[in-house]
Amino acid sequence: MKTIIEPFRIKSVEPIRLTTREERQQHLAATGYNLFGLPSEAVLIDLLTDSGTGAMSSLQWAAVMRGDESYAGSPSFYRFEAAVKNLMPFKHVIPTHQGRAAEAILFSIFGGAGRRIPSNTHFDTTRGNIEASGAIGDDLVIAEGKDPRSEHPFKGDMDLERLEAYLQQHAAEVPLVMITITNNAGGGQPVSLANIRAVAELAHRHGKPFVIDGCRFAENAWFIKSREPGQGGRSIEDIVRDCFSVADGMTMSAKKDAFGNIGGWLALNDDGLAEQARQHLIRTEGFPTYGGLAGRDLDALAQGLAEIVDEDYLRYRIRTNAYIVERLDAMGIPVVKPAGGHAVFVDARAWLSHIAPLQYPGQALAVALYETGGIRSCEIGTVMFGRQPDGSEKPAAMDLVRLAFPRRTYTQSHADYVVEVFEEVAVAKDRLAGYRIVSEPKLMRHFTCRFEKLGA
């Protein structure tokens, strides 16, 4: 059959309501045109993030009832630990309440003033935690990863020549090397197994630990299986194990590829580093066998890890985004190609070329999508990444709008509605205005800053 169906049945539903344009305009004005400030009841289709917003399975809900809430030594932790180690062969698994908490612990050990941490592309919370420690995060993705129209199959790959030169130039400043799979800030683009292995080899040759931000590891493994020569006959589980077997540690938001509504972990091989991490965990998150999570959450994540590597699910998941990319591309809307794993990324800078990068074309498009059809999306561009450590501002490498699809939540008709909203926005796109920021915090400003529409 050529039709790829949703490989699940729906057991429970939540009603959603289409607001009027006037209502949406009022909400936008009240939040300073920041979509993070919208009440979720005022959103029809919420594509702000795929983090923690998906639907849990019936088996995950059953696992919730098995959760043991003992403060220390809960069997829920040991089931969770075993599920992680089944896919990621690390010696120490340290639960946290979500991925950014794992990052905060990692950079409390490896960060600090005068240090530099390379990756393909650091995402917002990673960069925020690096900068909060006093360190600098540097992005070394391949050139194709900055070209939305490039059809390179692994646009999340790290530039090995640049990494080699970087490690030679900053040898004393670099405490570790990171890579993010998939590369969220670059359009949800995958990293090849060959590149993961090569980056690990380079890091180790220079005496640096290699750490993977593994939030979307299963989606990345699917791309390896479907695109990388020699990998097509392998299971997703085996590919995942190969990816992490060359790493010294990982950070993880279990709100992505573990089907969790909450949760994360930091995994390490080094005994001394793990002990430092656990002491930090006890001080900020909780005892090492719960790490800020309830036992029921740990059991739900253990079950989610068993489900995320299902190939029927991954085929449907990846195809959902590819379908929308194909529809938008056929309409002449510039999109990041090939389609990423968890989201559709629209090149707002190219589509709204009349809006200068420092007037935030991505924000202008995101606001228009909500005002027109009640769709909440997320700017991934100069608002998120434009402010420099010294307080100055420059355009980000790309100005994208991300439409991140929650897992097992929306259906084909929702996807078709999203396309129809773009059709309506396209009619008026040349009349859209840019924005300026009128208030912002020092770190990760995109979450809480407020905007003013130019020319209003």
CA distance 102 to 109: 11
Q: How much is the pLDDT for 456? A: 64
Q: Please, what CATH class does the domain formed by 21-50+310-453 belong to?
A: alpha beta
Question: Residue 141 corresponds to which tokens in the numbers above?
Answer: 């993705």
Q: How much is the pLDDT for 15? A: 94
CATH for 58-308 is: 3.40.640.10
CA distance 323 to 6: 13
Domain ranges of the chain: 21-50+310-453, 58-308
Please tell me whether residue 171 adopts helix, strand or coil conformation.
coil
| Residues 361 and 419: beta-carbon distance below 8 Å | no
456 residues of the chain, pLDDT tens digit each? 678 889 999 999 999 999 999 999 999 999 999 999 999 999 999 999 989 999 999 999 999 999 999 999 999 999 999 999 999 999 999 999 999 999 999 999 999 999 999 999 998 789 989 999 999 999 999 999 988 889 999 999 999 999 999 999 999 999 999 999 999 878 889 999 999 999 999 999 999 999 999 999 999 999 999 999 999 999 999 999 999 999 999 999 999 999 999 999 999 999 999 999 999 999 999 999 999 999 999 999 999 999 999 999 999 999 999 999 999 999 999 999 999 889 999 999 999 999 999 999 999 999 999 999 999 999 999 988 878 777 788 888 889 999 999 999 999 999 999 999 999 999 999 999 999 989 888 877 888 999 999 976
Phi-psi region of 292 (alpha: psi -120 to 50; beta: other; left: phi over 0): left
Of the candidates 304, 340, 306, 301, which has an alpha carbon nearest to the alpha carbon of residue 320? Answer: 340
CA distance 72 to 66: 16
Of the candidates 455, 184, 130, 129, which has an alpha carbon nearest to the alpha carbon of residue 341? Answer: 184
Q: How much is the pLDDT for 296? A: 97
